[in-house]
């Protein structure tokens, strides 16, 4: 029995390491460009390590059992009549419960921090319409653009609206996403932390041109931003 | 009411009711496909004239309104005409109108030739097979659509189809898979197995059972026929969100109405299962002696009757908005756009369990009998089903974390969502504990059951990512969702359906399938399934939205790989079909109990006798007492010796 447990653990470790390598060797997430996405990525890694362990445990037991206790088709013996084990059953109710509650608490904390409005937030209106995005900066002038430009380091408060059907605003590197819904206004906060060019995509099926409803997003230095605003005003 | 048995001696009744007319008259006016065909046309014409007359009466312009005529004539009265034509209502109509009903000769029972499968048949075993063959036909159609749009997605940009057709293919694919494959295929397997497992001669309401089946092809044809509608098939996704759905071309109405027929079918079957399970258990079959498949269908049926009316409502409201210009979901008219999503998900989240719990039941049967061990923690297995049932109704808004709903709802819905992982985890751990120290027979159903356990864990874990609101905000509406639903619905539900079909194949057909082909089928499916869907997690997180025909160049190679893998996955299905057809025709004759299982369906011949049990079984113990010396689940021949034995076991 002792030997069996060692073998089982060895299989579990091999599977766990293999899955962990898959998790770290590929760049599963886009490179974060916002403070909010940094926090989301932290939970992502929490969930990932939890998943690696759970998958390794289940897969190891399945592989080990089949390897150890497989019998030829003509075997007609029966297994030992084990009906249950109260200790084990309590354990595998309690441990997952603790894990998911921990994940829930961390998620709730991140969620509320990602929805905190900071002072001096830049107000941006994102308008969804089949099949293009329009952006407005109501505090900075009366103009519309098809390109989203944000100053680095300053929180932007997005208000979403739609004139026809539901669209969804997403910049993969910024992490946050929100539907633009006709009839109501929705809101998200994004604090870009590095400059660069990104893509705005619509993620809610909105009709024939849904796939091509994309726009450009640029995160620039505050000086460049002020200059860009000047250009837009004229 | 417990297991009232009709006399097994069928001959004492006339075999067929003979109408007092000639054979030509009978072909046209007797129940059957011919009468079904002309009554379909008649139903449509009556509907059309009704609409035209009313519009003329009120002086509405234009007189001809295609959408209204299609709804009333094509999607309500024509199907009713068809059902009446094939004879679904004959008995009831005779009874209501006071005419002599057809003698209760059970002539609708059993199938002697393949033609009997094309009639209204009240035998649950025939209906089960009717369900399975029909659902696998729609699985094939839905799968071919997937092959088609995977070809389109192999490269960025549009190659083969226009964007309305693309949206239509994606939407009809998902709709067929959910409403015409997974849900009814489980209903088919349960139809065959549950009455047998209970020791009952049939379902509680055999005629209702037949009617539930015949509603299905109607729904399926409606979904497929939407491609013929002007403007193309419905293209707002299987979720049909308003207001997009309200502005769609005519095809959307086919979705709105098709869902009604499929939903009505589910509700009727679920009621039938509930009454059957509650009232038709054999003597001694207490709830705590029921096999887990029966428990699973009991909980699923509760979910169906409670939840399905909500999707029916949501689709009626959309159709009313489209056809009658109400404004349930039209913001300009005071409608509430998010209301659609709340109602829709109030059904469709429970629906994901409707699509999973019966599979849990199948896998419990297979793993226990193939490991030669009692299922681990039987009572907790049954209770966790009930836990999922209750929790399942409190999580619907986790599909709306980025929909702009009230903020305060997010955290409570996240907590309930994450809690569902607990009963689900109990099930997974109990299955693998059942394997422990068993004597494992790695047959094809067992391979699919173990494939299910591992793949479903991946799907459940990606569900936990999505249950965490901040991660969901990043992953929602991307290919990550597509990966998640395929791990739970393909790696989950479809694998269990395969396991169930292989497991009961000898019982249904009386013949054995080919193990060699079955194993090839499993490995090919398992590998290509992972190659197809695992990379979708990656492209989704990296920025590829779902339901798009075009995408960023950067995802080109990955999508090419996915498409090629998906063609292999499609090809693996051919092995299954070939195995089933050839084995059904000339496979080796199956024994009554090739798996040496304990549940009641294996204690009768393969296929079972026309009324299942020649004697009423007497249940004396649990269904999975493998390895317990002297334990029995039931005694089938209540001879004197058996009676004595029963008393001994009791003592
Ligand atoms: C531990 C168990 C599970 C959890 C925590 C979970 C969680 C979730 C969440 C949060 C979403 C919404 C994602 C989004 O749209 O942003 C989702 C989507 C979905 N889930 Fe699950 N899930 C679980 C198991 C299942 C099972 C068992 C099934 C079906 C058998 C299923 C089927 C689906 C489907 C079909 C969708 C996509 C619906 C759509 O088209 O938008 N899930 N899941
Ligand atoms: Cu869109
Ligand atoms: Cu859900």
Per-residue b or e along B139-152, where b marks 16 or more CB atoms closer than 10 Å to that residue's CB: bbbbbebbbbbbeb
Both B247 and B387 in a single domain?
Answer: yes
Both B566 and B438 in a single domain?
Answer: yes
Question: Which residues are close to ligand 3, an ion, with C-beta < 5 A?
Answer: B 349
Q: Is residue B646 part of a domain?
A: no
Answer yes or no: is the ipTM higher than 0.90: yes
**What is the pTM assigned to this prediction?**
0.93
Nearest to B10 by CA among B609, B602, B566: B609
> Ligand 3 centre and the CA of B221: distance in Å?
28
Both B86 and B142 in a single domain?
Answer: no
Mean of the pLDDT values across residues A84-100?
93
Answer whether residue B8 shows pLDDT above 50: no
Q: Is residue B645 part of a domain?
A: no
Predicted confidence (pLDDT) per residue in B229-274, tens digit: 998 999 999 999 989 999 899 999 999 999 999 999 999 999 999 9
pLDDT value, residue A195:
95
Domain C-terminal end among B39, B67, B96: B96
Domain C-terminal end among B560, B586, B612: B586
Q: Reduced to 3 states, what is the DSSP secondary structure of residue A78?
A: coil
Q: Is residue B596 part of a domain?
A: no
CB spacing of A202 vs B549 below 8 angstroms: no
Whole-number Å distance between alpha carbons of B57 and B54? 5
Mean of the pLDDT values across residues B537-555?
93
Residue B12 pLDDT grade (very low, low, confident, very high; cuts 50, 70, 90)? very low
> Phi first, then psi: what are they for B622, rounded to 5°?
-70, 165
Nearest alpha carbon, ligand 1 atom 5: B463
Percentage of residues in chain B having pLDDT higher than 90? 79
Both B145 and B225 in a single domain?
Answer: yes
Answer whether residue B501 shows pLDDT above 60: yes
CB spacing of A96 vs B443 below 8 angstroms: no
Map tokens 């441990």 to a residue.
Answer: A95
Both B150 and B59 in a single domain?
Answer: no
CB spacing of B545 vs A202 below 8 angstroms: yes
Q: Is residue B15 part of a domain?
A: no
Compute CA B111 distance to the chain's CA centroid, rounded to the nearest angstrom: 23
Both B522 and B467 in a single domain?
Answer: yes
Answer whether residue A173 shows pLDDT above 70: yes
CB spacing of B440 vs A70 below 8 angstroms: yes
**N- to C-terminal Cα distance for chain B?**
27
Both B83 and B154 in a single domain?
Answer: no
Predicted confidence (pLDDT) per residue in A130-172, tens digit: 999 999 999 998 899 999 999 999 999 999 999 999 999 999 9
Least confident of B11-15, B183-187, B406-410: B11-15
Domain C-terminal end among B557, B586, B615: B586
Per-residue b or e along B56-68, where b marks 16 or more CB atoms closer than 10 Å to that residue's CB: eeeeeeeeeeebb
> Ligand 3 centre and the CA of A214: distance in Å?
28
**Shortest CB distance from B236 goes to which of A176, A203, A205?**
A205
Nearest to B434 by CA among B422, B450, B418, B419: B450
Least confident of B103-107, B360-364, B472-476: B103-107
B430 in Cβ contact with B350 (< 8 Å): no
Q: Is residue B604 part of a domain?
A: no
Residue B644 pLDDT grade (very low, low, confident, very high; cuts 50, 70, 90)? low
In the numeric block, which tokens belong to residue B634? 């039931």
Full domain range(s) for residue B426: 114-586
CA–CA–CA angle A146, A151, A176 (5° rounding): 70
Distances, alpha carbon B222 to alpha carbons B36, B70, B88, B215, B232, in Å: 16, 11, 19, 11, 13
Residue B648 pLDDT grade (very low, low, confident, very high; cuts 50, 70, 90)? low
Chain B nearest-CA distance from A229, in A, is 28
Closest ligand by atom to A103 CA: 1
**Shortest CB distance from B426 goes to which of A75, A92, A165?**
A92
Q: Is residue B103 part of a domain?
A: no
Chain B nearest-CA distance from A142, in A, is 26
Mean of the pLDDT values across residues B417-444?
95
Higher local confidence (pLDDT), B407 or B296: B296
Both B260 and B361 in a single domain?
Answer: yes
Nearest to B138 by CA among B174, B168, B176: B176
For the CA of B352, the nearest atom of ligand 1: 29
In the numeric block, which tokens belong to residue B229? 């509608």
Answer whether residue B5 shows pLDDT above 50: no
Secondary structure (DSSP) of B15-77:
SS---SS-HHHHHHHSSSHHHHHHHHHHHHHHHHHHHHHHHHHHT-SSS--HHHHIIIIIIII
Both B47 and B145 in a single domain?
Answer: no
Map tokens 């640029």 to a residue.
Answer: A218
Nearest to B377 by CA among B439, B305, B309, B292: B292
Residue B119 pLDDT grade (very low, low, confident, very high; cuts 50, 70, 90)? confident
Query: For chain B, what is the mean pLDDT?
Result: 91
For each of the domains in chain A, give its residue range(s) and CATH number, in order of start: 2-69+96-114 (no CATH), 122-233 (2.60.40.420)
What strands lie across the sheet with A132-136, from one edge to the other? A144-145, A132-136, A122-129, A156-162, A186-190
Predicted confidence (pLDDT) per residue in B558-567, tens digit: 999 999 999 9
CB spacing of A164 vs B436 below 8 angstroms: no
* CATH number of the domain encompassing residue B504: 1.20.210.10
Q: Is residue B546 part of a domain?
A: yes
Q: Is residue B453 part of a domain?
A: yes
B120 in Cβ contact with B31 (< 8 Å): yes
Secondary structure (DSSP) of B110-139:
S-SSGGGGGS----HHHHHHHHHHHHHHHH
Percentage of residues in chain B having pLDDT higher than 70? 93
In the numeric block, which tokens belong to residue A229? 């605003």
Secondary structure (DSSP) of B156-191:
SS-SSS-HHHHHHHHHHHHHIIIIIIIHHHHHHHHH
CB spacing of B437 vs A80 below 8 angstroms: yes
Both B82 and B127 in a single domain?
Answer: no
> Ligand 3 centre and the CA of B217: distance in Å?
27
Nearest to A176 by CA among A37, A29, A28: A37
Both B209 and B253 in a single domain?
Answer: yes
Chain B nearest-CA distance from A7, in A, is 14
Number of domains composing chain B: 2
Residues of B in contact with A30 (CB under 8 A): 541-543
Residues of B in contact with A97 (CB under 8 A): 419, 422
Nearest alpha carbon, ligand 1 atom 7: B463
Both B198 and B67 in a single domain?
Answer: no
């Amino acid at each position: 029995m002792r030997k069996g447990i060692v073998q089982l653990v060895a299989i579990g470790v091999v599977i766990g390491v293999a899955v962990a390598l898959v998790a770290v060797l590929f760049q599963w997430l886009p490179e974060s460009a916002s403070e909010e996405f940094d926090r989301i990525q932290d939970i992502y890694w929490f969930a990932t390590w939890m998943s690696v362990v759970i998958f390794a445990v289940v897969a190891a037991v399945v592989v080990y059992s089949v390897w150890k206790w497989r019998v030829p088709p003509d075997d007609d013996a029966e297994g030992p009549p084990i009906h249950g084990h109260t200790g084990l059953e309590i354990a595998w109710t309690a441990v997952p419960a603790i894990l998911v509650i921990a994940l829930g608490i961390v998620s709730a904390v991140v969620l509320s921090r990602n929805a905190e409005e900071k002072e001096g937030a830049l107000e941006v209106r994102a308008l969804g319409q089949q099949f293009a995005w329009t952006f407005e900066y109501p505090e900075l002038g009366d103009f519309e653009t098809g390109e989203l430009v944000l100053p680095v380091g300053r929180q932007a408060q997005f208000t979403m609206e739609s004139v026809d059907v539901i669209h969804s605003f997403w910049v993969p590197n910024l992490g946050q996403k929100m539907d633009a819904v006709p009839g109501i206004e929705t809101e998200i906060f994004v604090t870009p932390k590095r400059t660069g060019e990104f893509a705005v995509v619509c993620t809610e099926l909105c009709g024939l041109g849904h796939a091509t409803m994309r726009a450009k997003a640029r995160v620039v230095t505050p000086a460049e931003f002020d200059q860009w605003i000047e250009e837009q005003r004229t | 009411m417990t297991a009232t048995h009709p006399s097994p001696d069928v001959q004492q009744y006339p075999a067929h009711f003979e109408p007092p007319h000639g054979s030509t008259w009978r072909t046209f006016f007797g129940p059957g496909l011919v009468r079904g065909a002309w009554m379909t046309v008649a139903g449509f014409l009556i509907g059309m004239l009704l609409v035209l007359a009313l519009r003329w009466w009120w002086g509405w312009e234009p007189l001809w309104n295609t959408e209204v005529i299609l709804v009333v004539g094509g999607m309500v009265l024509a199907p009713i005409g068809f059902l009446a034509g094939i004879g679904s209502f004959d008995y009831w109509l005779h009874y209501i109108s006071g005419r002599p009903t057809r003698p209760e000769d059970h002539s609708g029972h059993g199938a002697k030739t393949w033609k009997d499968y094309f009639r209204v048949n009240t035998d649950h075993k025939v209906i089960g097979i009717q369900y399975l063959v029909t659902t696998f036909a729609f699985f094939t159609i839905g799968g071919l659509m997937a092959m088609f749009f995977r070809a389109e997605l192999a490269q960025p940009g549009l190659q083969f189809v226009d964007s309305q057709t693309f949206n239509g293919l994606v939407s009809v694919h998902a709709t067929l898979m959910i409403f015409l494959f997974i849900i009814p295929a489980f209903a088919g397997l349960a139809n065959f197995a549950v009455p047998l497992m209970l020791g009952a001669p049939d379902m509680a309401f055999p005629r209702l059972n037949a009617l539930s089946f015949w509603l299905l092809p109607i729904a399926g044809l409606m979904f497929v026929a939407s491609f013929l509608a002007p403007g193309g098939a419905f293209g707002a996704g299987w979720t049909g969100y308003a207001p997009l759905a309200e502005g769609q071309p005519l095809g959307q109405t086919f979705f709105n109405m098709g869902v009604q027929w499929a939903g009505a079918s589910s509700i009727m079957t679920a009621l039938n299962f509930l009454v059957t399970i509650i009232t038709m258990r054999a003597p001694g079959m207490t709830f705590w002696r029921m096999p887990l498949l029966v428990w699973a269908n009991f909980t699923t049926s509760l979910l169906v009757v409670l939840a399905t009316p909500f999707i029916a409502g949501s689709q009626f409201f959309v159709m009313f908005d489209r056809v009658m210009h109400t404004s349930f979901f039209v913001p300009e008219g005071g409608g509430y756009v998010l209301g659609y999503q709340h109602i829709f998900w109030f059904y469709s989240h429970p629906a994901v369990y409707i699509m999973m719990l019966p599979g849990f039941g199948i896998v419990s049967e297979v793993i226990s009998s193939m490991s030669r061990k009692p299922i681990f923690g039987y009572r907790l297995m049954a209770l966790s089903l009930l836990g999922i049932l209750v929790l399942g109704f409190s999580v619907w808004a986790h599909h709306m974390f980025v929909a702009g709903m009230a903020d305060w709802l997010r955290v409570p819905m996240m907590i309930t969502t994450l809690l569902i992982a607990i009963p689900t985890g109990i099930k997974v751990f109990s299955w693998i504990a059942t394997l422990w120290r068993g004597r494992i027979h790695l047959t094809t159903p067992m391979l699919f059951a173990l494939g299910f356990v591992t793949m479903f864990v991946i799907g459940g874990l990606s569900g936990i990512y999505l249950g965490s609101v901040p991660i969901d905000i990043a992953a929602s509406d991307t290919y990550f969702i597509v990966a998640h639903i395929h791990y739970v619905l393909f790696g989950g539900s479809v694998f269990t359906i395969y396991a169930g079909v292989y497991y009961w194949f000898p019982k249904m057909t009386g013949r054995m399938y080919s193990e060699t082909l079955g194993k090839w089928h499993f490995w090919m499916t398992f590998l290509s399934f992972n190659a197809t869907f695992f990379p979708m997690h990656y492209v989704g997180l990296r920025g590829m939205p779902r339901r798009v025909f075009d995408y960023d160049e950067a995802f080109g190679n990955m999508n090419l790989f996915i498409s090629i893998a998906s063609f292999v996955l499609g090809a693996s299905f051919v092995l299954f079909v070939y195995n089933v057809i050839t084995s059904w025709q000339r496979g080796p004759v199956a024994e009554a109990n090739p798996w040496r299982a304990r549940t009641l369906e294996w204690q009768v011949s393969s296929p079972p006798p026309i009324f299942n049990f020649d004697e009423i079984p007497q249940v004396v113990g649990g269904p999975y007492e493998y390895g317990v010396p002297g334990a029995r689940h039931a005694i089938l021949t209540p001879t004197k010796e058996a009676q004595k034995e029963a008393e001994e076991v009791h003592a």
